[in-house]
Structure 1
Amino acid sequence: MKPYETAVKNPVGTALIFIGVVLIGIMFYRQLPIDLYPKIDINIVSVMTSYSGAGAEDVEANVTRPLEDVLNSTEKLKEITSQSKDGMSMIMLEFEFGTDMDEVMNDVRDKVDMIAGFLPDGTEDPMILKFSSDMIPVVVLSATAQESAGALYKILDEQVANPLNRIPGIGTVSVSGAPEREVQVNVAPQKLEAYNLSLEQIAQVIATENVNVPAGNFDIGSQTYMLRLEGQFKNSRELNDIIVGNSQGKPIYLRDVATVSDTLESRVQENYTNGVRSASIVVQKQSGANTVSIANAVREQLPELEKTLPPDIKLVTVMDSSEYVKVSINSLLETILLALLIVGIIVLFFLGRWRATIIIMVTIPISLIGSFIYLYLTGNTINIISLSALSITIGMVVDDAIVVLENITSHIERGSRPRQAAVYGTEEVS
């Protein structure tokens, strides 16, 4: 017995099946992650290494080439390209389609760790990035300040980024564009030469002095106490009293050969919002997290966070990717309602049967709700691509339903009973 014959002969069971599909579809819809785009893993890995103060040629010879030599042996590597700039090395690794990028990341990380110890002093640890749709920011905030500009980075990091990081589903919250505090030691070359000192000596002395040293422990009764010699500087003025050498039996202090200034770092790139210098706070989600829920949680927490900030710091939402998803969902709902209205009028006008009209109008939402079951079971998300596909399928569902229903109606008009007409009409079309 064919499926449509079984459905016609058991109307109660068929109705229960469709009711079950609707209930399960609604339940799965509530559990489906909502995102801007479907999860897409791009087969590209980037290795970025910072080498401050080095020219492009030095970066190429001492950082980029050693890394390239090691990474060239990575399995399933399709192409490797590199770019060396002043103070920065960037290597792009493209892999064959279908490669397991998690395994690739582990392989690349192992190779980079193997060569990292041989890179020049002053080179920061290489940063390895895997490109995917999860890297798209969920929310981007902009912060402007007047009096608090000097401490803006620290304030945003501690009072905005850290609380937002505690929201379930958030992967990373990064602060950029805000100048950080920087203690600059400006050395006079003539004085260095006069005292027979070098920049390397000055840097080594400062690094050696600016540490806390463990000094053992001692016992008092049943209690053991740890000893520590605090050597880290409390403020920039203490740097002036460091002894960096001696001349004719007299100590040479840092203030004798350099000036110390507590200032803000100089930046090559600066952020501006509406013509005002600002900092950016980028919120990214974890893989599979709900974009709309995270964006809503961030918006709900912003008023509380603003209360903890100095009065001159203002937060503005620059980008909210959940708005695009909401627009797509609203567009789908409008499409469904418009389709129901137009199809209902056309079917009622041409077929002249209100029952046929109801059947067509019920077909559309049941089909769409049933599709949520498929999305859930296959691990997909509700995104602008899947919503666009559902909008297109509405027309296909309506076309098929109208053709079948019109054929059934023609059999009824010829004198067939409704159940027989349903079987004959469906069989002829299928």
Structure 2
Amino acid sequence: MKITNFAVKNYQFTLIIFLLVAVVGVLTLFTMPRSEDPTTHPPQYIITVIYPGTSPKDMEEQVVKPIENKIYGLENIEKILTTVEDGVAVIQPKFKYGVDVDNKYQEISTEINALKNSELPKDIYLIKTEKVSSSDVKILQVALVSDNASGKLLRDKADILKTRLEKITNLKDVKYFGMPEQEIRIDMQLDKLAQLKIPLNVVIGSLQSEAADIPGGSINLDSKIFNVKTSGKFKTVDDVANTVIYNANGKIIYLKDVADVSYKDAIADHITRLNGHRCVLVTAGMKDNVNIASVQKEFLPVLDEFSKSLPENIRLVKNFDQANMVSERLGHLGFDFGLAIVLVIITLLPLGFRASLIVMISIPLSLALGLIAMNLLGYSLNQLSIVGLVVALGLLVDDSIVVVENIERWLREGHSRMDAILKGTQQIGIAVVGCTATLVIAFLPLAFLPDMAGEFIRSLPMAVMTSVLASMIVALTLVPFLGSRMLKTHTHGEGNFFLKHLQRFLTWSYARVMPLAL
């Protein structure tokens, strides 16, 4: 084959190219993005609307329906899932797979901005549109555990840790939860309101009329809860307590005269425990196309330093670290790689140590070339691509073994080394290409699976196909080149000690079994 002739006769060029492949392959292994799962970008979005003090019915009529109507007018819309609560609406449009995710995001943002200037209420507190991505999954979860620290202290410490983690550029969406937030609570004294003949709606109206810039909350009155929408500038509890709710004939009534105003923990909507102990959980996600091992090296020192600053009654526990799971899977790949090397040595003993060494060299170079191709195609190291590489380990040695064995056969038949290299490789070159093509075709259906399932699993068949194609290139170029430098001619046609005894054993076995079979 021409490619084999070129590789053998221009050995300096071949050597430099494969040394370069080895170096770039090692660099790629350490620098290419790593994550537990493949990065996917489904055509789904989350539109969050915060409109404090609005009931679910009003939110649906004034906010949700106008937004949904606009989104339904966009092309390729599949469905919209909407959740509405007091003062909050979450709208999740999903488009048909295959649309341009970024362009569709711009279309949604344009429609939302147009609505804000026309149909939507002017005093909406927040409208936020976000893309859905597989990187939204948290890669880190730590717990601040304490059975006796106050809720405020745990919240304060969690907030400090959150601030420090947010300074790490490759982390995103750092949050903490598990302790109820503090809120200003207004407990109305009904007897005083009745005595002063002040209607409850006057109190609510007074709070609404103050110039606040904080989201509203609610007023608890026995078994009823009244939504309050504020747009003023309350800064402290005293500001709220000193709100004038009634002023007639020179008589000023403050909120504190008819209600107890205090800072209290909000009603807990969930409780967090770690091994039965009270805790606050701090979580963080990772940005797209980032090496999780590098990110771990950035946040571990932050966690260690923060842990040392905690009081004795609070301890930091690293509950989940996705980087460890990714490293463990890569460790399994390394073990399988070592096992493949050992099996090659044992299997090729009949052909001699030199032939075994050539195949041993071809394995890491095939993997390196496969990794380079995967990185150039935009794939990351994740649990599926690692599985693909493990599967490929059992396939990528085949081409090199077949080529080396045929060259050795030509050498045992008395041909010169150069003739054995060129003619032996040429003799089975088409068969090697055909075998590789068959393997690639077998994995093509997985690579072309449609929709979300296809995007998620695609890194597995791509890892197999790139590695197998790389092994074919190595078998037809590097293996003949190494054979021309390392293999030697044989003085007898029976081969070495192992091959002679293996052939005798096989001959004896067939002689015993064949009469029974016939």
For 2:239 and 2:57, locate their aligned partners in 1 and report how far apart those are by CA, in whole Å. 37
Deviations 1:368-407 (A, max 9, x none): 1222322332233222222222211111111111112222
Alpha carbons of structure 1 residues 427 and 193: separation in structure 2 relative to 1, 3 Å? farther
Which residue of the partner structure matches residue 80 of structure 2? Answer: 80
Q: Which runs of 5+ in 1 are unaligned?
A: 213-230
Identity %: 27
Structure 1 counterpart of 2:5, one-letter code: E
Q: In structure 1, what is the equivalent of residue 20 of structure 2? A: 20
Could you tell me which amino acid in structure 1 is paired with residue 262 of structure 2? S
- 1:355 deviates by 0.9
1:156 aligns with one of 148, 158, 163: 158
Q: Distance in 2 between matches of 1:29 and 1:322?
A: 15
Moved more, 182-191 or 250-259: 182-191
Report the Cα offset of residue 283 of structure 1. 1.0
Measure, in 2, the Cα distance between the counterparts of 1:102 and 1:128.
Answer: 12
Deviations 1:163-194 (A, max 9, x none): 11112312231122222221111223454455
RMSD: 2.7
Pairwise CA distance, 1:265: 1.1
Aligned to 2:428: 429
Contact 1:134 1:285 in 2 (8 A): yes
Q: 2:49 corresponds to which letter in structure 1?
A: T
TM-score if structure 2 supplies the norm length? 0.72
Q: How far, CA to CA, are the matches of 1:241 and 1:280 in structure 2? A: 36
Q: What runs of 5+ residues in structure 2 fail to find an aligned partner?
A: 214-231, 430-518
**Alpha carbons 1:141, 1:316 under 8 Å: kept:** yes
Alignment correspondent of 1:90: 90
Counterpart for residue 377 of structure 2: 378
- Supply the distance in 2 between the matched residues of 1:180 and 1:263 (Cα, whole angstroms): 8
Q: In the TM superposition, what are the counterparts of 1:26-425 in structure 2 within 5 Å?
A: 26-50=26-50, 56-85=56-85, 88-116=88-116, 118-119=119-120, 124-145=125-146, 146-157=148-159, 159-189=160-190, 191-192=192-193, 195=196, 197-199=198-200, 201-206=202-207, 235-237=236-238, 239-348=240-349, 350-351=350-351, 353-425=352-424
Distance 1:168 1:49, change over 3 A: closer
The CA deviation string for residues 225-273 of structure 1, in whole angstroms up to 9 with x for no partner, is xxxxxx9666424543432113454211212221112211112222222
Q: CA deviation at 1:340?
A: 0.3
Deviation at 1:346, TM superposition (A): 0.8
How far does residue 296 in structure 1 lie from its aligned partner after superposition?
2.8
The superposition leaves residues 128-158 of structure 1 with CA deviations (integer Å, 9 ceiling, x where unpaired) of 332212112121112234333124334322x
- The secondary structure found in structure 2 opposite 1:138 is strand
Q: Is the 8 A contact 2:24 2:372 kept in 1?
A: yes
Q: Is the 8 A contact 1:180 1:265 kept in 2?
A: yes
Comparing 127-136 and 203-212, the one that deviates more: 203-212
Query: SS at 2:132's partner residue?
Result: strand
The 3 A distance-change label for structure 1 pair 309 and 121 is farther
Q: Cα–Cα, structure 1 residues 267 and 112, in superposed 2: closer, same or farther, change >3 Å?
A: farther
Give the direction of change, closer, same or farther, for the CA distance of 1:116–1:310 in structure 2 (3 Å limit): farther
Q: Say if 1:137 and 1:284, in contact at 8 Å, map to a contact too.
A: yes
Partners of 1:398 and 1:147 lie apart in 2 by: 60
Residue 373 of structure 1 aligns with an amino acid whose one-letter code is: I
CA distance in 1, matches of 2:388, 2:89: 42
Match of 2:420, as an amino acid? A
Aligned-partner residue type, residue 178 of structure 1: M
Change (3 A) 1:264 1:116: farther
> What is the aligned length?
409
User: 2:51·2:126 contact (CA, 8 Å) conserved in 1?
Assistant: no
User: Does the C-alpha gap of structure 1 residues 253 and 13 become closer, same or farther in structure 2, counting only changes over 3 Å?
Assistant: closer
* Residues 59 and 84 in structure 1, CA contact (< 8 A), matched pair in contact too: yes
Structure 1 window deviating more from structure 2 (242-251 vs 164-173): it is: 242-251
- Bigger mean CA offset, 294-303 vs 75-84: 75-84
Please tell me the residue identity of whatever aligns with 1:109.
Answer: S
State the Cα deviation string for residues 86-112 of structure 1 (Å, max 9, x = none).
654332211122222122222222323
Shift of 1:124: 4.5
Opposite residue 42 of structure 2, the aligned amino acid is I
Aligned-residue offset at 1:121: 8.4
Task: Look up the equivalent residue of 1:153 and give its one-letter code.
Answer: R
Please tell me the residue identity of whatever aligns with 2:48: M
For residues 90 and 237 of structure 1, the distance between their equivalents in structure 2, rounded to whole angstroms, comes to: 34
Q: Deviations over 1:45-98 (max 9, x none)?
A: 122334566655444334332221122122332222334456543322111222
1:360, distance to aligned residue in structure 2 (A): 0.8
The answer to whether the Cα contact below 8 Å between 2:185 and 2:264 also exists between their aligned partners in 1 is: yes
Cα contact 1:116–1:125 (8 A) shared by 2? no
1:357 partner letter: S
Structure 1 CA distance for aligned equivalents of residues 200 and 70 of structure 2: 33
SS at match of 2:126: coil
Partner SS state of residue 41, structure 1? coil
Residue 154 of structure 1 contacts residue 180 of structure 1 at CA under 8 Å; is this kept in 2? no
Query: Which residue of structure 2 lines up, in the alignment, with residue 225 of structure 1?
Result: none
Shift of 1:335: 0.6
Q: Deviations over 1:21-45 (max 9, x none)?
A: 1122223333322222222111211
- Cα 1:211–1:51 change in 2 (3 A) is closer
Q: What whole-Å deviation, never above 9, does each CA across 1:187-212 have from its counterpart, x for those lacking one?
A: 23454455454555434544665769
CA–CA separation in structure 1 for the residues paired with 2:129 and 2:274: 30
CA distance in 1, matches of 2:32, 2:407: 37
1: CA distance, partners of 2:272 / 2:67: 32
**8 Å Cα contact 2:116/2:122 also seen in 1:** no
- Cα deviation, 1:324-362, whole Å, max 9, x if unaligned, reads 2101110110010000001111111x32x1111101111
| C-alpha contact 1:4 1:423 (8 A) present in aligned 2 | yes
Distance in 1 of aligned mates of 2:109 and 2:153: 35
Contact conserved, 2:179 with 2:268, CA < 8 A, in 1? no
Bigger Cα displacement from structure 2, 325-334 vs 43-52:
43-52
Q: Residues 198 and 409 (structure 1 numbering): CA distance in 2 closer, same or farther, change over 3 Å?
A: farther
Relative to structure 2, which stretch is displaced further, 325-334 or 269-278? 269-278
Contact 1:139–1:295 (Cα < 8 Å) also in 2: no
State the TM-score, normalizing by the size of structure 1.
0.86
